[in-house]
Amino acid sequence: MKKENRTWTECRSVLRAVALTGAMWLAALQAGADGWTGSEEMWGDGSLRRVEDVLRPLPPGAVTLTGGLEADLQRCIQHWQKEAVPYPQLVEFFRSGHPQFALGEMWGKAVRSGAMFYRYRADEELRSILRSTLDDLLTTVRPNGSISCAPPEIQPENAGGDMWERKYVLLGLSQYYRWVDRDPRVLKAMQQQAQSIVDQVGPAPKVDITTLGWSQNKIESSSLLEPMMRVYFLTGDRQYLDFASYIIGRGGCSGSDLFQQAYDGVRPRLMGNVYPKAYEMLSVFEGLAEYYRATGEERWLRCLMNMYRGVCEREITIIGNAGCNQPYFPQWAGEAWGDTRFEQTNPGQTRMMETCVGVTWMKFCSQLLRLTGQAGMVDMIERYVYNGLLGAMKPEGDGFSYVNLMNGEKVTNSGWGWNFNGLPVTCCNLNGPMGLAYIPFVLAMQAQDGPVLNLYNSARIQACTASGKPVEVEVQTQFPLNGTVQITVRPQAEEKFALHLRIPGWSKNTACSINGRRVSGVKSGQYLVLKRLWKEGDRVSLQLDMRGQLLNAPLGTDRRGDHYQAVTYGPIVLARDEHLDKNYDKPVSILADTRHEVELQAVSPSLPGTRMEFLVPTARGPIHMTDYASVNGWDGKKVCTWLPMER
């Protein structure tokens, strides 16, 4: 074994001993000894991977948020994950069948996010809930080993979404197995589920995967790529890698080859044979990231990077999400790629930015962050977390909007899902919590030569030095209320190693000092690597540039959308709230200097639950604006984020 691999192994063991006690230590032991070798979920035998991550996730319990976003996570864990989710009814679909297509996805989504929350905080009540529903699910295994809403005699079911449902069962089982309990029954169920799919789907005389599914191009079934790679990494069974190769060989959908299109740099809106469904397409490419780790073929990295760049350049809005219904795909209800970045001010938009898209984009960016170590990918995650994700969550954390609008009715539960005794459960209600659970997962990571800070939130972090010894990093900040970040480094003994600090792309003039001495070479959109001899109590100070900015509308297809402007504060998008201002949607002329900077005046929030509020200067006097995420649209009040300009 190479020395650097010994260091990772030693580092992993030391960190778990330092960071975890009691139930958390038990959970870490049950998670196994493979925690630092490979991909996002860190599956199985590292020898099966030809590509190692540049940045690696820290072990369970190594990141503890101590303020800021912690309150959002805890509200969601308590009021949604532990109180609201109807676990028994979700299992019942596998016994009695689904009255509507794809409802079998719900169990896997709920358990997937629950397991990630447990990874963060070993909440024993949550673990008990997850164990109970796992036991319930295992009673539904079919004679052929499948866990499906369809009986074996009609498998693989076509329009009901059988492959998509079984995919999410695999994802839920794999997250439970990885983070909650290494119960051998779970691994057996995963293998049986995967085997039932391989037995039924593939080259003739089996059923072609591109003929299965409810959608026009059957794209959703090819998202089996991700869980099949997980089963491969866990078992080493070559047939699952071969099945993944089969999916890629079939192009990921009917009528076009998604992977060739990505390789060629085709814009997302033109991919997928007139059905560029954003959520499902990103799910397929998440699986491609795992496939790249297994094969090491540079072709696949080019596909992934082209997909990332295409979405960044043509789809992502100012609140970090994508998908729209005008002008290209009104029939897809705002869930398809549609040059959303340019059409976000199109006044014809009535549905935009499905939460499932935003969360899957966040996860996809996390995959590429670990593979490449490019700081700009965290900018994408941060933008979505503080705007689109929090902006979709109900104030008490007990649900998420299906889609979001930036002007008009901000949130809605209208969309695909099912009503359980008055509780609307949608795909987005179930995906939103996964986005929250990912925050501590990406907040801090490990590089070969030391810890990495990606997101700035008050936290205690247990990481490793270059030699594999433990180091605690404590972050104190009120970000994003302001841009001041204080970081205290506490190694066990003096040692030379690197501390990697992400400098956001939006922070154009960032100041950094160590123990009061100014640091040079700070560049926006990159990691600042502070490599030095560190000792107990060394302090790093960051001052992020949070100056207000005025953004002009992008130029889309509808000229009526040209005459809008938006205001940002660091990564935070501001909005006018009808709760505060009856003239919330009236034209204004924002005052800004020649650099498009706006002089914002912070004031105490007028409403409970509002995170931040500002007076924003206009030609007719100041107006009140809050952060977009804080606007409560659940009581029918509206929002105005892209402000119409006085003319």
The string of pLDDT tens digits covering residues 168-191 is 999 999 999 999 999 999 999 999
- How many percent of the chain have pLDDT more than 70? 93
**Is residue 98 within 8 Å of residue 154, measured between CB atoms?**
no
Q: Would you mind telling me the total number of residues written for the chain in this entry? A: 647
460: which strand partners?
Answer: 64, 474
The distance in angstroms from the start CA to the end CA of the chain is 69
Considering all CA atoms of the chain, what is the largest pairwise distance in Å, rounded to the nearest integer? 72
By the 10 Å C-beta count (0-12 exposed, 13-18 middle, 19+ buried), 288 is classed as buried
What was the pLDDT predicted at 481?
97
Helices (H), 32-123: 70-76, 87-96, 105-120
Q: Evaluate whether 39 touches 227 at the Cβ level (below 8 Å).
A: no
| Domain boundaries along the sequence of the chain | 446-543, 548-644
What would the two tokens of residue 339 be? 């040059």
Sheet hosting strand 56-57, strand order edge to edge: 56-57, 444-447, 450-453, 495-503, 526-534
User: And the tokens for 644?
Assistant: 């119409």
Q: How many angstroms separate the CA atoms of 281 and 328, rounded?
A: 17
User: How confident is the model over 410-424, as pLDDT tens digits?
Assistant: 999 999 999 999 999
CA 619/CA 600 separation, integer angstroms: 14
User: What is the predicted pLDDT for the residue at 38?
Assistant: 37
Smallest CA-to-CA distance from 324 within 311, 343, 307 is with 343
Res. 134: pLDDT tops 50: yes
**Residue whose token pair is 């593939």:** 202
Chain-centroid distance of CA 184 in Å reads 29
What confidence score (pLDDT) does residue 30 get? Answer: 34
Q: Which amino acid is at 354?
A: E
Phi, psi angle pair for 566, to nearest 5°: -135, 160
- Going by pLDDT thresholds of 50, 70 and 90, the confidence category of residue 13 is low
Taking residues 95-102, report their average pLDDT: 96
Phi, psi of 106 (to 5 degrees): -65, -40
pLDDT at 416: 95
C-alpha 246/C-alpha 224 separation (Å) is 11
Measured in degrees and rounded to the nearest 5, phi and psi for residue 526 equal -135, 170
Token pair for residue 464? Answer: 């490793």
In angstroms, the CA 315 to CA 344 distance is 9
582 burial via Cβ count (<10 Å: 0-12, 13-18, 19+): exposed
**What CA–CA distance (Å, rounded) separates 557 from 554?**
10
Average per-residue pLDDT for the chain: 93
Chain segment 50-65, per-residue pLDDT in tens: 999 999 999 999 999 9
550 vs 590: CA distance, rounded Å:
8
Handedness of CA 286, 292, 297, 302 (dihedral sign): positive
In 10 A of CB 195, how many CB atoms?
17
Among 68, 43, 87, 115, CA closest to 437: 115
Angle, CA of 343, 348 and 352, to the nearest 5° = 60
Pick from 575, 631, 172: which is nearest to 393 by CA?
A: 631
The CATH topology of domain 446-543 is Immunoglobulin-like (2.60.40)
The residues, any chain, with a CB within 8 Å of residue 128's CB and separated by 6 or more, are none
The average pLDDT across 475-484 equals: 98
Q: What are phi and psi of 72, to 5 degrees?
A: -65, -40
E strand or H helix that includes residue 446: strand 444-447
Which pLDDT belongs to residue 47?
A: 84
